[in-house]
Amino acid sequence: MIETLLVANRGEIACRVLRTCRDLGVATVAVHSDPDAGALHVRRADAAVRLPGAAPADTYLRGDLIVAAALAAGADAVHPGYGFLSENAAFARAVEAAGLTWVGPPPAAIEAMASKTRAKRLMGVAPLDPAALTEADLPVLVKAAAGGGGRGMRVVRDLSALAGEVAAARAEALSAFGDDEVFAEPYVAGGRHVEVQVLADAHGTVWALGTRDCSLQRRHQKVIEEAPAPGLPPALADELCATAVRAARAIGYTGAGTVEFLVAADGTAHFLEMNTRLQVEHPVTEALYGVDLVALQLRVAEGAALPPEPPAPRGHAVEARLYAEDPARGFAPQTGTLHALDVPGVRLDTGYAAGDGIGVHYDALLAKAVAHAPTRREAVRALARALERARVHGPATNRELLVRTLRHPEFAEPGRVDTGFYDRYLADLTAPAPGAGHAAVAAALAEAASRPGPGAWRNLPSAPRTRAYTGPEGAGGSDGPAAHVVRYHRTRDGYALPDRPGVRVVSAAPDLVRLDVDGVVRPYAVTAYPVPGGAGTVHVDAPTGSHRFTPRPRFPDPAERTAPGSLLAPMPGTVVRVADGVAQGARVEAGRPLLWLEAMKMEHQVTAPAAGVVTALHAEPGRQVGVGALLAVVTPDPPGGTAQPAQRPEAADPSGEPARPEPTDPPGE
């Protein structure tokens, strides 16, 4: 029997494992990096051991430190969660060599499936050699052999781009996994990502717990998952489950694992890989079958036998991943304080609580919201409504994108969605949020209500008061969040809105404003989070959705400007590489990749905004930058196309801060 379990992970999955341990009466030990010293998984564990440092390579990827932590804390078992060392055979062997119970498959089974190329050969599929590809092989998907989660993955449609994409994939794979091996496979446009959950014991029983559909992805990373895979022909579902069981038996698998397939539009299934661990999306299978996969993992690790057959599935389950990111601007990760996280009515798996900080060192996943209902339509409706009514206060998130996705007509049709969904609809799904104007009115009136009322009596009517906001972030389109200007009068009878016919203020308090819009009254809950010396944020939660605003200063500082062609960091992160040939004085074409930033396990490409000359470069690999840090300046070619000689512009501050020229314009409204 396992008495004390060390969870060799962090965040949401660590909290998930801790929850099951609490239910089973198993004591727990957490490990943490320095940025995670106060994290939720540390607070919820019975004991915690520090892993000195911040980078994963120095902390959560140090198997020797984790084994030592388990021994020091008196743990007798280790659960790896997902990611980090969960599919590392050497770590599994080290755990067992230390006399600890490994909650996972045998190291030999991990090894058999650890490399995607070896796994494909085991399943009778020949991976493609990128060096031998011809035009006839295109399009292909270049992938990291040792990777996952979209890292080291590139779509190649043009043979001339192959060498560059392979080099980029190798560089990213080496950085993420310590292994630069890549391979290629046919790129199936319009395919569905379908997987099968398996669970096996050491007594010969292997369960196939049905299918999951994970086709809704951004940057090759999953966003919405559901079980069972909708619209899949029963014969095909049975075939995939049988193939998954054969794969598990072939390598002597025990514990939980997932076999992944790509299903083409014609119904042809292509084996992708086997993940020898628990998947992020495992809650939809738990809801569908009424099981606790973590509890079953622990029981299998203790030597227990599974029943001959799994429970019967019931209903339908849908999961949405809530990320701290801005979908309208390339899914750029966001940082800051999470002030509130409340998604009522559905299961919520998270590694954060109100007041926690969201940093730059790990991925942007905040939580997973899961709905289960008798039918798919009911489950989707419940999840969309729960997210719409949720209180998620803090940095910008993809919440609005999730709600719109769940309500999209194509998603409503079972089996219609494929991996190209966001390529087709992202612009529409990130358009300015409806109702933002009324929410901005509520924000302005709540702020006004928090201040004292009007002073002395006036003989003439006063000019309207004005309040301006930027936002909501995450739904303002690629040109940035929209600006909202609210003009109002404060009278002895309440508030009046001279610019908004059809809108009447029913009541206004610092935390709640009720507006009558064309005869329909709706409440707007307003919560302001001021920042000393800054604008802070205002969150407005309404029955029709939520909005996040940033108050704009009444007198903008004209010094808040940058030189033309300045490239500022869109997020905090680390410069991982600079493109070959990019240096001060180099000439570049519009759209050429200049450098890559890594933040929250994702790489973001920074490109030249126009053809011109690189007149400043403040990016070198390994440099940590904050939002708005000056990375480079590309001085555009003048009209007529004659390039200017390279020179260092006055705006290029070597400190890396954006240029701040002396103000010359008088302040205005």
Q: What beta strand segments (E) does 84-138 contain?
A: 101-102
Question: How many CB atoms sit inside 10 A of residue 241's CB?
Answer: 19
What average pLDDT is seen over the chain?
Answer: 88
Residue 79: predicted pLDDT: 98
One domain, residues 419 and 503: no
Residues 624 and 570 in one domain: yes
Q: Annotated active-site positions, please?
A: 277
- Asked whether residue 115 is assigned to any structural domain, the reply reads no
Q: What is the DSSP letter of 356?
A: -
pLDDT per residue over 86-133, tens digit each? 999 999 999 999 999 999 999 999 999 988 888 888 888 888 889 889
| 369 against 177, higher pLDDT | 369
Judge if 325 and 367 occupy the same domain.
yes
User: What is the structure's pLDDT at 98?
Assistant: 98
Half-sphere exposure of 231 (CA within 13 A, CB side): 17
pLDDT score at 433: 80
- Picking from 461, 460, 513, 511, the residue whose alpha carbon sits closest to that of residue 486 is 513
Confidence of residue 238 (pLDDT cuts 50, 70, 90): very high
**Cα 373 to Cα 379: distance, rounded to the nearest angstrom:** 5
Measured at the CA of 470, the angle between CA 464 and CA 476, to 5 degrees, comes to: 130
**Distance of alpha carbon 77 from alpha carbon 400, whole angstroms:** 40
Q: pLDDT: is 145 or 66 the higher one?
A: 66
Residue 447 has a pLDDT of: 95
Q: Are 224 and 406 in contact (CB under 8 A)?
A: yes
In a domain? residue 458: no
| Domain that residue 598 falls in | 558-669
Measured distance CA(491)–CA(213) in Å, rounded: 56
Q: Where are the beta strands (DSSP E) in 104-219?
A: 140-144, 154-156, 182-186, 192-200, 206-218
Same domain, 469 and 349: no
Burial group, residue 36, by CB count within 10 angstroms (0-12, 13-18, 19+): buried
Q: Is there a single domain that holds both residue 292 and residue 419?
A: yes
How confident is the model at residue 174, as a pLDDT? 81
Residues 298 and 377 in one domain: yes
Residue 73 lies in a domain: yes
Average pLDDT over every residue of 596-600: 77
Looking at the structure, tell me whether residues 647 and 526 fall in a common domain.
no
Domain shared by 523 and 662, yes or no: no
pLDDT per residue as tens digits for the range 462-486: 678 999 998 865 444 444 567 899 9
Residue 111 lies in a domain: no
Provide the domain count of the chain: 5
Q: Are 313 and 291 in contact (CB under 8 A)?
A: no
Residue 343 DSSP SS3: coil
Q: What is the pLDDT of residues 612-669, one digit of tens each?
A: 999 988 888 888 787 778 899 999 888 765 544 444 333 333 333 333 333 333 222 2
Cα distance between residue 30 and residue 15, in whole Å: 10
What's the pLDDT at 56?
92
Q: Please check whether residue 112 lies inside any domain of the structure.
A: no
CB 233 within 8 A of CB 90: no
Q: Which amino acid is at 118?
A: R
**Cβ contacts of 25 within 8 Å, gap of 6 or more:** none
Q: Determine the pLDDT at residue 624.
A: 79
Regarding whether 256 and 157 lie in a shared domain, the answer is no
Rounded Cα gap, residues 269 and 238, in angstroms: 12
The residue assigned the tokens 């940035």 is 480
CB distance 466 to 486 below 8 Å: yes
For the cut 60, the answer to whether the pLDDT of residue 36 exceeds it is yes
Contact in structure between 219 and 331 (CB atoms under 8 Å): yes
SS3 breakdown of the chain: % helix, strand, coil, rounded to 5? 25, 30, 45
Contacts 24+ apart (CB under 8 A), 303-311: 303/202, 304/201, 305/201, 305/202, 305/203, 305/205, 306/199, 306/200, 306/201, 306/203, 306/205, 306/207, 307/205, 308/205, 309/207, 310/199, 310/207, 310/208, 310/209
Residues 6+ positions from 266 with CB-CB distance below 8 Å:
none
| Residue type (1 letter), 459 | N
CB-based burial of residue 105 (10 Å sphere; 0-12 exposed, 13-18 middle, 19+ buried)?
Answer: buried
Q: Over pLDDT 90: what percentage of the chain?
A: 65
Q: Which residue did the predictor score with more confidence, 461 or 155?
A: 155
Assigned token pair, 320: 């949405």
Identify which of 198, 207, 316, 205 has the alpha carbon closest to the alpha carbon of residue 261.
198
pLDDT-based confidence at residue 411 (cuts at 50, 70, 90): very high
Closest CA to 526 of 438, 595, 612: 438
Contacts of 519 (CB under 8 A, 6+ apart): none
Question: Considering the domain boundaries, does residue 571 fall inside one?
Answer: yes
Domain boundary among 103, 137, 161: 103
If you average pLDDT over residues 538-550, what whole number do you get? 93
pLDDT in the model for residue 656: 37
Same domain, yes or no, for 305 and 396? Answer: yes
CA distance 151 to 611: 30
Task: Say what the pLDDT of residue 372 is.
Answer: 98
* Any domain includes 114: no
* Contact status, residue 182 vs residue 154, Cβ threshold 8 Å: no
Same domain, residue pair 15 and 55: yes
pLDDT digits (tens, 9 = 90+) for 552-585: 886 555 444 566 788 888 777 888 889 888 988 9
What confidence tens digit (pLDDT) does each residue in 128-169 have?
889 889 998 899 989 888 766 677 788 999 998 999 899 888
CATH code for the domain of 177 = 3.30.1490.20
Based on the fold, state whether residues 488 and 542 are members of the same structural domain.
Answer: yes
Tell me, what amino acid is at 418? D
Q: Among 167, 186, 205, identify where a domain stops.
A: 186
Q: Which helix (H) or strand (E) holds 495?
A: strand 494-496
Last residue of a domain, one of 147, 163, 186: 186
In a domain, 546, yes or no: yes
Residue 408 belongs to domain with CATH number = 3.30.470.20
- 188 band by pLDDT with thresholds 50, 70 and 90: confident
User: What sign results for the dihedral spanned by CA atoms 414, 416, 419, 423?
Assistant: negative
How far apart CA 64 and CA 280 sit, in angstroms, is 25
Res 429: pLDDT: 95
Q: Residue 18 sits in a domain of what CATH number?
A: 3.40.50.20
pLDDT band with cut points at 50, 70 and 90 for residue 434: confident
- Output b/e per residue, 45-81; b: 16+ Cβ within 10 A: bebbbbbeebebeebbbbbebbbebbeebebbbbbbb
Q: For position 117, what pLDDT does the model report?
A: 85
8 Å CB contact between 12 and 351: yes
What pLDDT shows up at residue 168?
A: 87
* Residue spans of beta strands (DSSP E) within 266-346: 269-275, 316-323, 325-326, 332-333, 336-337, 340-342
